[in-house]
Chains A and B, each alone.
Chain A
Amino acid sequence: MATYQLTVNGQRKQVNVDPSTPLLWVLREDLKMTGTKYGCGISACGACTVHLDGVATRSCVVPVSMVGNRPIVTIEGIDKDPIGKVVQNSWVEKDVVQCGYCQSGQIMSAVALLKATPKPTDENIEESMGGNLCRCATYVRIREALQNASRQLK
């Protein structure tokens, strides 16, 4: 066990866990922030996507010991980001979700995409969102909501 100081959604948190524990499980079980989801544990589905120092990151394969001082933003805090708020609202406006389980990860990936590429092409979308699995296959509406958010961001 080791003690780690984490900055999650702007707040300082302290956890005492095994260094190999993936950030995902620290968020979910130690910090009780269950909006970030476990889907595969091997970085293949994107349900666990968070922003680590602004970069969309699969938290299921990042040991907590590797996080360091990098700030973490999760779905629970993304509405404080102006782009995050627009994306979240666009998701609601376009009625994207079905089961909803993957959508935290989809939204986190979408926000990262729009921060880097405010006017994404279909190709950009497929590249950035290409690793986020949705078994309900809400992809058509994800595209719509992303483009809609992009338009609103001007």
Chain B
Amino acid sequence: MRAAMKLQNDLHLNRRSFLRVTSAAAGGLLVSLYFDLPLTTAQENQPPTKVYPPDAFVHIRPDGKIMITVNRLEFGQGVHTALPMVLADEMDADWSHVVAELAPAAEVYKDPVFGIQMVGGSGSIAHSFQQYRELGAKVRAMLVAAAADRWRVTPDKCRTEASVVHGPNNQTAKYSELANDAARKPVPEKVTLKNPSEFRIIGKAIPRIDSRAKCDGSQKFGLDLDLPGMKIAVVAHPPVFGGKVKSVDDTEARKVEGVRDVFEIPLVKGSGVAVVADKFWPAKQARDLLKIDWDLSGIEHPDSAQLWTKYRELARTRGNVAVTLGDEKLIDQIAAANRIVAEFEFPYLAHAPMEPLNTTVRFDGEKAEAWVPSQFQTMDQMAIGQVLGLKPEQVTFHTEFAGGGFGRRAVIDSHVQREAAVIAKRLRGTPVKLIWTREDDIRGGYYRPMHAHRVEVGIGADGMPSAWRHVVVGQSLVAGTPFEGMMIKNGVDETAVEGTSDTSYVIPNFHVSAHHPVVNVPVLWWRSVGHTHNAFVMETLIDELATRAKMDGIAYRRKMLKPEAKKLRAVLDLLEEKLVVWRNKLPPPGHALGIACHESFETAVACAVEVSIENKRPRIHHATIAVHCGMAVNPLTIESQFQGGLGFGLTQLVGQGAITLKDGRVEQRNFDGYTPPYIADVPVNVDVHIVPSTDAPTGCGEPPVPVISPAVVNALAKLTGKRYRTLPLVSI
């Protein structure tokens, strides 16, 4: 790496240029965006772990492999395949040469739109598509320039294909042979990007890069990290959020062989007791033996039953206004026979990613190193630094593969990382892996907030809604956080009303308001955020209205759409086309079709499901999806995201999908009490149809989630005549 620095200095590269180029120690090509952290060789005193290039997006290795660095967490959504596809296409790389890695936390890897390094808002492709295209095109131009020099021709006489530059006189040079020369070429300020018709990789159904490693056990996740001398920590958390340790008797705990330390630690709220051991099992055994006297005074003890009473009352009063169109009071003049009054209830939901939360930190006094399966690298790195009295850049932050996340690894207060840092501080010099057990996860808060909705709809003579008054009640996700200024408008947290206040349906005399009660339960964005409940409310009510109007569900929705809702119109058209065969044959006895559509994160989705009732449970035989997500970068990933996203969305519908509290204590502990969907709970088949488009790509991580639950209950309503407004479905 010193050689690289020297070369860089020798070349007097212009630091103001958008891209900088260095030659890696191994003799390859590195390209990075603004990255002014010093290249460092201070790795001598650290244990051998994964080697992360310090500042790179592309590294052409001498063996021909092309390493592409992904500026985001990979936790199932497939960005670790999709972004390299984008870059490789513009670079004209041979896809079989491409390998990928996750970027560490660094300025250069921040989301170009959000300005922090993160995954969220279904923005990975939407925000980095152009960035990775330009990177690829610039690398290609530099390789061509190097080849042109070698052959004494002009670059425009050269063409590229599959990691080879071809010259005008049948000369050929592999990218790996040109990498060193290319690294000395100036980075072009402007490049011409391909016309979509020239794409060789983008738009193709490319299998995931990480598939094999995830099928043979070799893929390492954050929880799999093993460092020399590493210790394992678990923390006893207070039984009520914000509780404090009054006293702890750790006599028995310390007797467990392998236990190294037991000590009280501050938490983001309240305090807990950390147990550090050589391995997980003694740590957990010791935690179970702690006798902790908790101080639970002076904190609210939330109780679901009481909260529902309060929420229902609040829903009957006007909240802070999110949107108001026409006459708010018109609804009061509409005869009861022409009015629907609907009250909805949505419980707290845990994300429960398969890989339990974890973070590994080693603190060396002057610096620290962290290994985190993180959706929020910038925030988590800062938090660890803050606890340790270090600047963020003094914390070398490795992004580890994550076993799911769904928002749970994008936590504004970085509470898991803070716990790990506090423990690492005490164990100075020793790497410590903090593991949250599944019980910690299920009982640990940071849930999708519970919500009550109350909607009054007036129906006009034409069967269409003529007035709509809607109150949403739920905790704010961002009140009191740095996101507040951006996301709370007029006292309304946008995430609580998204999908309702910005509906694509034309509704005259439309009024939406929101209450944000403060409750002593930490809450967090949960895949698709406010759309989880808002789409349910909107799409079940629209369905009910269509049924009352004796109109076809698709036709009714189409009639209600705003003229500018082009994407939704396109998916309804495509869904209808795909359903022709299905609708023309009678469904088997006891089966019914339910539909829903919704736009979120600029992606529109229409969904149809065929449902029957088995053992008092919805049985989802089939789902058909139509999606408009702009240009489809990888149709295979999109198909997978939709198949899986529907299943994830069913978390709020099926089984024991609810977190409840009694006297401040969470009543569920693990997957025995909080039961997400298993194989029999999700559609047996899902076919996904993508609207062809050359528009800029939009996200596919969250948009699958909102549509499935309303589609399923709309089908159930046809079978039973009942409307389902309280989730999860306890009885049909």
Q: How many residues of B contact A (CB 8 A)?
A: 66
Verify if A141 is at the interface (C-beta below 8 Å from B).
yes
Chain B positions 396-438 with a Cβ under 8 Å from a chain A Cβ: 401-406, 437-438
- CB distance B355 to A130 under 8 Å? no
Verify if B683 is at the interface (C-beta below 8 Å from A).
yes
Verify if B226 is at the interface (C-beta below 8 Å from A).
yes
Q: A38-B280, A131-B678, A143-B679 are in contact. List 14 more A-B contacts (CB 8 A).
A: A18-B258, A34-B223, A41-B438, A88-B215, A96-B215, A99-B401, A130-B678, A130-B679, A132-B678, A133-B671, A134-B647, A136-B644, A137-B682, A140-B644
Query: What 5 pairs across the A-B complex have the smallest Cβ distances?
Result: A35-B217, A137-B647, A101-B403, A100-B214, A99-B76
- CB distance B226 to A34 under 8 Å? yes
| A22 to B437 Cα, complex, angstroms | 14
Q: What are the interface flags for B667-700 relative to A under an 8 Å C-beta threshold, 1 for contact and 0 otherwise?
A: 0001110001111101111100000000000000
- CB distance B257 to A1 under 8 Å? yes
- Residues from chain B with Cβ under 8 Å of A142 in the complex: 679
| A40 to B350 Cα, complex, angstroms | 14
Contact of B75 among A33, A88, A99, A134 (CB under 8 A): A99
Verify if B356 is at the interface (C-beta below 8 Å from A).
yes
Chain A positions 35-69 with a Cβ under 8 Å from a chain B Cβ: 35-42, 44-45, 47
| A74 to B216 Cα, complex, angstroms | 10
| A88-B215, A136-B644, A140-B682 known; A101 vs B281 contact (CB < 8 Å) | no
User: Nearest residue in B to A35 (C-beta to C-beta)?
Assistant: B217
Contact of A42 among B401, B646, B670, B683 (CB under 8 A): B670
| A141 to B212 Cα, complex, angstroms | 15
- Residues from chain A with Cβ under 8 Å of B732 in the complex: none
Interface centre among B75, B355, B684 (most CB of A within 10 A): B355
- Residues from chain A with Cβ under 8 Å of B280 in the complex: 25, 28-29, 38
Chain A positions 85-120 with a Cβ under 8 Å from a chain B Cβ: 88, 91-92, 95-104, 107
User: Nearest residue in B to A26 (C-beta to C-beta)?
Assistant: B281
| A76 to B647 Cα, complex, angstroms | 28
| A126 to B682 Cα, complex, angstroms | 11
- CB distance B406 to A135 under 8 Å? yes
- CB distance B217 to A74 under 8 Å? yes
- CB distance B671 to A99 under 8 Å? no
Chain B positions 376-407 with a Cβ under 8 Å from a chain A Cβ: 401-406
| A134 to B76 Cα, complex, angstroms | 11
- Residues from chain A with Cβ under 8 Å of B447 in the complex: none
Chain B positions 237-284 with a Cβ under 8 Å from a chain A Cβ: 257-258, 279-282
- Residues from chain B with Cβ under 8 Å of A17 in the complex: 281
| A45 to B215 Cα, complex, angstroms | 17
| A34-B224, A92-B207, A130-B680 known; A103 vs B215 contact (CB < 8 Å) | yes
Instruction: State the Cβ distance, A138 to closest chain B Cβ, in Å.
Output: 5
| A137-B647, A141-B640 known; A35 vs B76 contact (CB < 8 Å) | no
Contact of A33 among B78, B217, B406 (CB under 8 A): B217
| A136 to B637 Cα, complex, angstroms | 13
Instruction: State the Cβ distance, B349 to closest chain A Cβ, in Å.
Output: 12
- Residues from chain B with Cβ under 8 Å of A30 in the complex: 279
| A139 to B650 Cα, complex, angstroms | 13
Contact surface of A with B, Cβ cutoff 8 Å: 1, 17-18, 20-22, 25, 28-30, 32-42, 44-45, 47, 74-76, 79, 88, 91-92, 95-104, 107, 122, 125-126, 129-143
| A98 to B76 Cα, complex, angstroms | 4
**SS of B interface (majority):** loop
Interface centre among A30, A102, A125, A140 (most CB of B within 10 A): A140
Instruction: State the Cβ distance, A127 to closest chain B Cβ, in Å.
Output: 9
- CB distance A126 to B680 under 8 Å? yes
Instruction: State the Cβ distance, A102 to closest chain B Cβ, in Å.
Output: 5
| A25-B280, A39-B354 known; A100 vs B670 contact (CB < 8 Å) | no
Instruction: State the Cβ distance, B242 to closest chain A Cβ, in Å.
Output: 26
Verify if B559 is at the interface (C-beta below 8 Å from A).
no
- CB distance B437 to A134 under 8 Å? no
Instruction: State the Cβ distance, B421 to closest chain A Cβ, in Å.
Output: 23
Instruction: State the Cβ distance, A94 to closest chain B Cβ, in Å.
Output: 9
- CB distance B671 to A107 under 8 Å? no
User: Nearest residue in A to B75 (C-beta to C-beta)?
Assistant: A99
Contact of A125 among B405, B439, B679 (CB under 8 A): B679
- CB distance B217 to A95 under 8 Å? no
Contact of A99 among B354, B682, B684 (CB under 8 A): B354
User: Nearest residue in B to A25 (C-beta to C-beta)?
Assistant: B281
Interface centre among A28, A38, A103, A129 (most CB of B within 10 A): A38
User: Nearest residue in B to A30 (C-beta to C-beta)?
Assistant: B279
Instruction: State the Cβ distance, A82 to closest chain B Cβ, in Å.
Output: 15
Instruction: State the Cβ distance, A81 to closest chain B Cβ, in Å.
Output: 13
Contact of A38 among B223, B226, B676 (CB under 8 A): B223
7 A-B residue pairs with Cβ-Cβ distance under 8 Å, sorted by A, are A29-B279, A92-B212, A97-B208, A107-B215, A137-B647, A140-B643, A140-B685
Verify if B609 is at the interface (C-beta below 8 Å from A).
no
- Residues from chain A with Cβ under 8 Å of B212 in the complex: 92
| A34-B217, A36-B217, A135-B352 known; A99 vs B402 contact (CB < 8 Å) | yes
| A95 to B457 Cα, complex, angstroms | 45
| A35-B218, A36-B217, A107-B215 known; A137 vs B648 contact (CB < 8 Å) | yes
Verify if B219 is at the interface (C-beta below 8 Å from A).
yes
- Residues from chain A with Cβ under 8 Å of B279 in the complex: 25, 29-30
